[in-house]
């Protein structure tokens, strides 16, 4: 069994309020969770207006599958119109 964790930094250049930021992130988190059945949440920079940090994790029987899912998560976030994907990194446990 393997756990793959992903930490993602996002830029939100068009956001003008924390309420708008939370709306965008909630929608993104819901779409990613429903599409890939991963655990995902905002983990840092909660009060920062135009940046966000998300954490995602998956537990799987093999690492290849877990990495494939996380790759799809990254791609889905890249295709989201309201956010700009910054740096990200993965860790395996």
86: domain CATH number is 3.30.70.1120
Mean pLDDT over all residues of the chain? Answer: 95
pLDDT digits (tens, 9 = 90+) for 47-62: 899 999 999 999 999 9
Whole-structure pTM value: 0.91
Asked if the model's pLDDT at residue 65 lies above 90, the reply is yes
Q: pLDDT grade, residue 46 (50/70/90)?
A: confident
The reported pLDDT for the residue numbered 6 is 97
Do 6 and 90 meet the contact criterion of CB atoms below 8 Å apart? yes
Q: Give me the sign of the Cα torsion angle 93, 24, 69, 87.
A: negative
Per the structure, the complete domain to which residue 50 belongs is given by 2-92
Do 56 and 5 meet the contact criterion of CB atoms below 8 Å apart? yes
| Helix (H/G/I), strand (E/B), else coil: 33 | helix
Could you give phi then psi for residue 92, rounded to 5 degrees?
-115, 135
Considering its fold, how many domains does the chain have in total? 1
The reported pLDDT for the residue numbered 47 is 87
**DSSP bridge partners of 9:** 53
């Amino acid at each position: 069994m393997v756990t793959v964790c992903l930490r993602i930094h996002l830029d939100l250049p068009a956001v003008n309020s924390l309420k708008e930021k939370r709306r965008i992130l909630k929608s993104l988190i819901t779409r990613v969770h429903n599409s890939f059945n991963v655990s995902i949440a905002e983990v840092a920079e909660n009060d920062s207006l135009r940046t966000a940090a998300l954490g995602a994790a998956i537990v799987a029987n093999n690492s290849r599958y877990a990495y494939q899912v996380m790759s799809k998560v990254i791609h889905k976030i890249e295709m989201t119109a309201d956010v700009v994907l910054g740096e990200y990194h993965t860790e395996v446990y």
